[in-house]
Amino acid sequence: MNASRSPVRQSSVRAHNLALVLQTVANSADRPSRAAISASTGLTRATVSALVDDLIAGHLLTELDPAPRTGAGRPAAGLALTPDGPGGLGLEINVDYLAACVVDLTGAVRHRFVTRADQRLLPPAAALAELGALAAQAQAAAGADGIELAGAALAVPGLVAADGLVRVAPNLGWSDVDVPALLNLGLPLTVDNEANLAALGELRTDGGPPTFLYVSGEIGIGAGIVLDGELYRGGRGWSGEIGHVTVYPDGRPCRCGANGCLEQYAGQEAVAADPDLAAAALGIALSAVVNLLDLGVIVLGGGYAPEFDRLRDGIDAELSRRVLTAGLAPVTLRAATLGADAAMRGAADVVISGVRDDPASWLARPQAV
Amino acid sequence: MNASRSPVRQSSVRAHNLALVLQTVANSADRPSRAAISASTGLTRATVSALVDDLIAGHLLTELDPAPRTGAGRPAAGLALTPDGPGGLGLEINVDYLAACVVDLTGAVRHRFVTRADQRLLPPAAALAELGALAAQAQAAAGADGIELAGAALAVPGLVAADGLVRVAPNLGWSDVDVPALLNLGLPLTVDNEANLAALGELRTDGGPPTFLYVSGEIGIGAGIVLDGELYRGGRGWSGEIGHVTVYPDGRPCRCGANGCLEQYAGQEAVAADPDLAAAALGIALSAVVNLLDLGVIVLGGGYAPEFDRLRDGIDAELSRRVLTAGLAPVTLRAATLGADAAMRGAADVVISGVRDDPASWLARPQAV
DNA sequence: TGGGATTTGTTTATTGGTTGAATTATTTGG
DNA sequence: CCAAATAATTCAACCAATAAACAAATCCCA
C-alpha cells in the first residue's frame, strides 16, 4: 500500500479518480465510452459519468460523435483528450542549438522552433535571453491555437539541482546558473537533465516498456533511468552519469580527473574513430547497469541512434558475456525513435503529464481573466 | 500525484488514514497523544480518535498511562505499538547455518534460533525441512507470548523470482527450487534475496537514510538498493548483482564465465589475501553505482563489516577520484550495524512492515477461531 | 412495421468517512 | 476554588461513491 505521508480527504478521492479516468482515456487506443471506462477502472458508470462531466467542463475531454459501432444497444459517445485544452512548452538548450515546442494534451507537437547557434560563445544570461525569445514565439503560437500552456520544462546538458539551479554543464561552459531567475516566462518552469527528459520522451512513445535505460551519446554520455514508468533522479537529482563509469581502471585520462571513463571510449569522437572499441566499452558499462538494476531494455539515443547498426553486435557480445542473468532473460537493445527532438519532446511531456496525473489541480487553478 | 491504476473508494481513504496514524506512532520517538497525531498528520482530532479506536480494538496500538508531562491542561494518553499484537517470522538459510527469529510489531526481536550446519551437503528439500522444524520452534515460542504471526519471510543467497521460486543459489548448489511448495508453515511466505532483506534490515535501524546501497560481502557479493525508503528489486527481481560488475575487463576469469568481475577481487578470499586490492576493486565498482544512481550513503555489511577499517581508505580513494559529483556532495561509507542477523531481521521486518503499511487488511483478516 | 432485447447514460436514495463546532473531561495556576 | 488550558468525544453536516431504478437509443427478428 505504501501509505504516503499525507492524509487523505474525500476531495483526494475525487482527485485520484479524475486522474484515473483521464489516464484511462489517454492510454486507450480507441475512443472509450463512459461504460468502457467504468468497466476498465472498476468505478460505477454513475461515478464515471460525473467525473467525465467535470473533465469535459474543464476542457480536458471532448465527446466525439459516433464511436466505432458494434452490436445492439444505445450507441456510445466516444471520449478523447481535447487538442485545444492545456498544453506544454518544451525547451532545450544545447551546445549548438536552442529549441522550443508546444505539445497539446493529446501529445501532438503543435509548434516547433529551432535556432542553430553555438551557445558556448555566449554567457548564460545571453543564451537564456535568446531562449526566452524563442519561447515567446512558441507561447504566441500556442495562444493563437487556443492552447493554454500549463507550464514549461527545459532540458539542459548538465547536472541540475532540485530547484532548477544548473550546477555544472561542462559542454556549455556553465556552472551554478540559476535558470529560473534568468528565464521568466510567466509559467511554472521545470529544469532537468537532457538525458532524463529524453528518457521520458521515449517512455511516452509507442507505450514502450516502463523499465528501461536511455543512453544519450553526445559529446558527453548521459543516461536516464526509468523504473516502473517513473524517472529515477537519484538522491540529489544527479543520477545517470554513465559517462563516468570506469571501464578500464588504468585507461585514458578523462577531463573529470579519473582514468578510463566510458566517455573516453564511447564519446562522439571515439565512436567515429573506432566503433568497435566504443561498442565494447559501452557493452561493459551497460553490463554493469543491468547487473545492478536488472533492466530488460536499453534504448540508445542521441548520437548513438544513427550508429545503432554499427554498435549493436559489439554491445550485445559484452552483454551476453557479462550480464549474470543473460541466460535467464534477454536484454533487448534498441535505437531511440524520437531522434534529436527527444529531450525537447520529453520536456513538453513532463508538463502535460503533470496535468494528466493531477487534473484536479489544473481544474482548480486560479483562472486568468 | 502518480495516480495508480486502481480506483479509490471511501474505504480506501480509511485504509490509508489508518496506515498514516499507525506509522506516525511507529516513527515517533516518544509516545504521541491523539492530539499530537492530529497536529502532525493534518487529520482532525475527531478522525484520529476514531482511527485510534479501531487500531486499539485490533490490538495494534495501546494506551500507556501518562505520557511525559508538560504545562497545564488535561493530560494526554500516550499511544504506542503493542508488543503483543501481530509479529513477523524472519527466516534465513545460508551456506553454514539456518536461522529463525520472531519480531513483534514494535520491531523488538522476541525470539531467535540458529542452527549451524553445512547446508551444501543437503538436498534442498532436506534443508528446507530442517528450516521448517526451526520455524515451528519459533512459531511455538511466538504463540506462548501471545503473538499472532502475520507471515514469514525467508532470506536466500541467490536469485529469487517473484513467486518465490529460487532460480539459482550458487553457493548452496540450488537451482529452480520451489520454496513455497517445500516449506509450508501455514503462514503467507515471502522469499527474497539475502542482500535485499539485509538492506531492509539496515533501513529499519536508527532511522537511517532512505536512499542507500547495502553491500554484502560473503562468498559472493550482493547488494540491496534502497531508493526513497523502498527496496528496488528490478524488473524481474534480480537487481543488485554487484558481484558481477566488471572491474578489470581482461582480468581474472569468474565462475560466471566473464572476466574481471568484482567477486574475483573482493570476495571473501580476496579480502583475506589482499585487502588493498579488494578495496580498490570495490571502490571502482561502487563509483559506478554512485555515478549511475547518485546515492549518498553506502553501507558495508556481511563479511565486509568486520574488515571495514581495513577497507575504508582504499574505497574512499577510488570514490573521490571516480565519482563525478564527489566534489559537490560527499559519499558516506559506513559499516552495517546489524551484523550477521541483518538478513533475518530484515525478513521479519518485511512482515511487520506489511502490517504497518496496511493495517486495514490485517484488521479485516479472516479471524482464526 | 413494431416490439423485445440490449447497451448507454442519468437520476435518486443510501452509505461510508471526514469535518467543524460544541461539549465534556482533567489538569495547572493564581 | 475558580479560570485557563489542553485532551478527547459527540453530533450534525457535507462530500463522494454506490446500487438500483429509469430513460434513451439502437439492433434484431418476427
Nearest to B33 by CA among A9, B41, B85, B17: B41
In a domain, B192, yes or no: no
One domain for residues B208 and B292: yes
**Does A128 score more than 70 pLDDT?**
yes
One domain for residues A32 and A119: no
- The angle subtended at Cα A247 by Cα A241 and Cα A251, nearest 5°, is 115
One domain for residues B93 and B75: no
In a domain, A232, yes or no: yes
The CA distance from B246 to B262, in Å, is 6
Q: Which residue of A lies nearest to B238 if distances are taken between CA atoms?
A: A294
Q: Which residue did the predictor score with more confidence, A115 or B68? A: A115
**How far is CA B131 from each of CA B190, B192, B196, rounded to the nearest angstrom?**
14, 16, 20
In a domain, B368, yes or no: no
The pLDDT of residue A184 is 96
**Does B199 score more than 90 pLDDT?**
yes
The pLDDT of residue B171 is 86
The pLDDT of residue A68 is 63
Q: Are residues A294 and B236, on separate chains, in Cβ contact within 8 Å?
A: yes
**Does A318 score more than 80 pLDDT?**
yes
Name the domain boundary from B48, B81, B114. Answer: B81
Note the pLDDT tens digit of each residue in B208-247. Answer: 678 999 999 988 899 999 998 899 998 888 999 999 999 9
The pLDDT of residue A125 is 96
Q: Which residue did the predictor score with more confidence, B206 or A161? A: A161
Phi-psi region of A289 (alpha: psi -120 to 50; beta: other; left: phi over 0): alpha
- Per DSSP, which regions of chain A are E strands? 61-64, 78-81, 86-94, 97-104, 109-116, 148-156, 159-160, 165-169, 174-178, 189-193, 212-217, 221-227, 230-232, 297-302, 332-335
**Does B110 score more than 90 pLDDT?**
yes
The pLDDT of residue B173 is 92
Considering only residues 200 to 219 of chain A, which have any Cβ-Cβ distance to chain B shorter than 8 Å?
211
In degrees rounded to 5, what are phi and psi of residue B211? -130, 110
Confidence tier at A207 by pLDDT (50, 70, 90): low
Cβ of B120 under 8 Å from any chain A Cβ? Answer: no
The pLDDT of residue A220 is 87
Question: Cβ distance B3 to A16 under 8 Å?
Answer: yes
Domain count within chain A: 3
One domain for residues B241 and B315: yes
In a domain, A44, yes or no: yes
Cβ of B29 under 8 Å from any chain A Cβ? Answer: no
Helices (H), A177-253: 179-182, 194-204
Residues of A in contact with B48 (CB under 8 A): none
One domain for residues A59 and A106: no
The pLDDT of residue A284 is 98
The pLDDT of residue A3 is 38
Confidence tier at B356 by pLDDT (50, 70, 90): very high
Name the domain boundary from A38, A57, A81. Answer: A81
Q: Which domain CATH number covers B298? A: 3.30.420.40
Nearest to A240 by CA among A284, A293, A179, A171: A293
Q: Which domain CATH number covers A40? A: 1.10.10.10
Task: Compute the nearest-CA separation of B339 from chain A (Å).
Answer: 23
Q: What is the mean pLDDT of chain B?
A: 92
Residues of A in contact with B42 (CB under 8 A): 6-7
- Rounded to whole angstroms, the distance from the CA of residue A69 to the C1' of nucleotide D28 is 15
Residues contacting residue A218 through CB under 8 Å, at least 6 positions apart: A94, A95, A157, A171, A268, A302, A303
Cβ of B10 under 8 Å from any chain A Cβ? Answer: yes
Mean pLDDT, to the nearest integer, of A264-282? 96
Is the C-beta atom of B62 closer than 7 angstroms to strand D?
Answer: no
Cβ of B121 under 8 Å from any chain A Cβ? Answer: no
Least confident span in A73-87, B71-85, B139-153, B165-179: B71-85
The pLDDT of residue B368 is 61
**Does B6 score more than 90 pLDDT?**
no
Nearest to A265 by CA among A290, A238, A245: A245
The pLDDT of residue A367 is 76
The pLDDT of residue A73 is 83
**Does A300 score more than 60 pLDDT?**
yes
Least confident span in A40-44, A218-222, A267-271: A218-222
Name the domain boundary from A81, A106, A124. Answer: A81
HSE toward the beta carbon, residue B221, CA cutoff 13 A? 32
Mean pLDDT, to the nearest integer, of A21-50? 95
One domain for residues B213 and B274: yes
**Does B3 score more than 90 pLDDT?**
no
One domain for residues B260 and B293: yes
**Does B38 score more than 60 pLDDT?**
yes
- Rounded to whole angstroms, the distance from the CA of residue B46 to the C1' of nucleotide D9 is 8
In a domain, B5, yes or no: no
Q: Which of A227, A233, A280 sits opposite B232 (nearest CB)?
A: A227
Boundaries of domain holding B45: 10-81
In a domain, A367, yes or no: no
Mean pLDDT, to the nearest integer, of A183-209? 91
In degrees rounded to 5, what are phi and psi of residue A61? -120, 155
Q: Which residue of A lies nearest to B159 if distances are taken between CA atoms?
A: A325
One domain for residues B305 and B247: yes
The pLDDT of residue B366 is 84
One domain for residues A234 and A251: yes
Q: Which of A20, A243, A294 sits opposite B3 (nearest CB)?
A: A20
The pLDDT of residue A2 is 40
Residue type, B183: L
Nucleotides of chain C touched by protein CB (<7 A): 4-12, 15-21, 25-29
One domain for residues B159 and B67: no
In a domain, A4, yes or no: no
Residues of B in contact with A362 (CB under 8 A): none
Measuring alpha carbon to C1', the residue closest to nucleotide C12 is A46
One domain for residues B137 and B50: no
Neighbours of B74 (CB within 10 A): 7
Residues of A in contact with B291 (CB under 8 A): 241-242, 244-245
Note the pLDDT tens digit of each residue in A325-364. Answer: 999 999 999 999 988 899 999 999 999 999 999 999 999 9
- Rounded to whole angstroms, the distance from the CA of residue A16 to the C1' of nucleotide C24 is 38
One domain for residues B62 and B144: no
In a domain, B1, yes or no: no
